[in-house]
């Protein structure tokens, strides 16, 4: 009997996860401490100052967290995701909302700029050649390298964060849009020309649908980049957001919380990617 591929893959995934958690549990299990000579009261106090409980359960408090500790932390955060204790202490849900808001704004701005400009570049070989050197130079710049300039010129840290998202997510979209537009089949354009279609109609009813899959691929890449950038930017600028959360817990050397945040970042990133994958599917056509 053939088990469907999907089910087999899912089973394998679960198995891999189980192996991973098992290895994690093994690697972090507490080391049985050799009970040495009895401690003097002063030594006991010293141990307490290091956050240990002499004579009690062994294992350092700040070692790598076990899966059980991780689960407790995760449940603790998920139980009250939206609490708000002033500017420095907010629930994970609120932090995520801040991050998503920033990404949405920066990404939205990038779409508004990249798609029309990409159209122009794709339609006109002259503009393409003129702008190409700039695009090639600006594209590979690391997002965080923009931060000092942004902070200096924009003079507002939250707007700077949005600007950095914008500047990093604009390029893949721009290039993909230009590529998609310039790659529309000649025959279709020729047919449109023969029928004397007006330029506006040509753009919206011939080129846009034809280039849509490529444009959406660009958007999908951009969204991935934007989500990568936001964490780094918020670690730098601070204040709110999931990146700030990671930074704040790094301060406290709390690996459990950092790992929880990493998991959340990964899951949300996957969700965003799936969203664009759906959209991509919707506009794909068969020739």
Partner 1 sequence: MTDRYDPYDADRPLTMGCRCGQHASDAEHATAELRARCETSAFEAESNAFIEATLVKALFPRDAVRRRFLRAVGKGSAMAAIGSVLPVASLQAMAQEKGALEKKDLKIGFIPITCATPLIMAHPLGFYSKQGLDVQVVKTAGWALIRDKMMNKEYDATHFLSPMPMAISMGVGSNAVAMNVASIQNTNGQAITLHVKHKDKRDPKQWKGFRFAVPFEFSMHNFLLRYYVAEAGLDPDRDIQIRVVPPPEMVANLRAGNIDGYLGPDPFNQRAVFEEIGFLHLLTKDLWNGHPCCAFGTSTEFIQQNPNTFAALYRAVLTSSAMARKPENRELIAKVISPQAYLNQPETVVAQVLTGKFADGLGNIRTVPDRADFDPIPWQSMAVWMLTQMKRWGYVKGDVNYRQLAEKVFLLTNAKRTMKQLGQPVPEGAYPKFTVMGKVFDPEKPEPYLSSFAIKRT
Q: Is 155 in the site for partner 1 (CB under 8 A)?
A: yes
Q: Does 31 bind partner 1 (CB under 8 A)?
A: no
- Please report how the helices 208-237 and 255-283 are oriented relative to each other, as an axis angle in degrees rounded to 10: 170
- Of 86-94, 112-120, 124-132, 269-277, the segment contacting partner 1 by CB under 8 A is 86-94
Closest distance to partner 1 from the beta carbon of 66 (Å)? 14
CA 88, distance to chain mean position in Å, is 22
Alpha-carbon distance 114 to 163, whole Å? 14
- Helices of type H across the chain: 5-28, 41-49, 67-79, 92-123, 125-138, 143-154, 157-182, 186-194, 199-201, 208-237, 242-251, 255-283
Residue nearer to partner 1 on the CB measure, 239 or 271? 239
Does the footprint of partner 1 cover residue 38 (CB under 8 A)?
no
Q: Residue from 253, 285, 286, 287 that binds partner 1 (CB under 8 A)? A: 253
How many residues bind to partner 1 according to rule CB under 8 A?
A: 35
CB atoms within 10 A of CB 53: 12
User: Is position 250 an interface residue for partner 1 (rule: CB under 8 A)?
Assistant: yes
Asked if residue 243 lies in contact with residue 234, where contact means CB atoms within 8 angstroms, the answer is yes
Task: Determine which residue in the list 40, 85, 194, 200 makes contact with partner 1, applying CB under 8 A.
Answer: 85
Residues 125-154 that bind partner 1 (CB under 8 A): 151-152
Task: Indicate whether 42 belongs to the interface with partner 1 (CB under 8 A).
Answer: yes
| CA–CA distance, 44 with 42 (Å, rounded to integer) | 5
Q: Closest CB to partner 1 among 176 and 257?
A: 257
Footprint of partner 1 (CB under 8 A): 42, 45-46, 48-51, 56, 60, 62, 72, 76, 85-89, 151-152, 155-157, 235-239, 244, 247-253
């Amino acid at each position: 009997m053939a088990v469907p591929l999907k089910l087999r893959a899912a089973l394998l995934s679960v198995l891999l996860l189980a192996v991973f958690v098992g290895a994690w549990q093994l690697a972090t299990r507490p080391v049985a401490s050799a009970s040495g000579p009895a401690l003097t009261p002063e030594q006991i106090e010293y141990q307490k100052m290091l956050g240990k409980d002499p004579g009690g359960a062994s294992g350092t408090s700040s070692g790598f967290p076990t899966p059980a500790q991780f689960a407790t932390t995760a449940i603790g955060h998920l139980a009250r995701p939206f609490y708000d204790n002033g500017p420095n202490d907010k629930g994970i849900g609120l932090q995520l909302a801040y991050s998503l808001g920033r990404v949405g704004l920066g990404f939205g701005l990038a779409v508004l700029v990249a798609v029309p400009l990409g159209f122009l570049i794709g339609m006109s070989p002259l503009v393409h050649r003129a702008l190409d050197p700039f695009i090639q130079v600006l594209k590979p710049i690391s997002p965080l390298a923009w931060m000092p300039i942004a902070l200096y010129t924009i003079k507002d840290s939250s707007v700077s964060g949005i600007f950095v998202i914008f500047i990093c997510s604009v390029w893949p979209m721009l290039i993909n849009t230009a590529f998609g537009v310039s790659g529309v089949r000649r025959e279709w354009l020729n047919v449109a020309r023969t029928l004397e279609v007006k330029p506006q109609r040509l753009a919206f009813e011939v080129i846009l649908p034809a280039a849509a899959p490529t444009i959406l691929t660009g958007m999908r890449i951009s969204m991935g980049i934007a989500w990568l950038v936001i964490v780094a930017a918020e670690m730098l600028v601070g204040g709110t957001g999931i990146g700030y959360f990671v930074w704040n817990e790094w301060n406290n050397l709390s690996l459990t919380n950092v790992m929880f945040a990493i998991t959340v970042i990964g899951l949300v990133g996957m969700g965003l990617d799936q969203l664009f994958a759906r959209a991509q599917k919707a506009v794909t056509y068969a020739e």
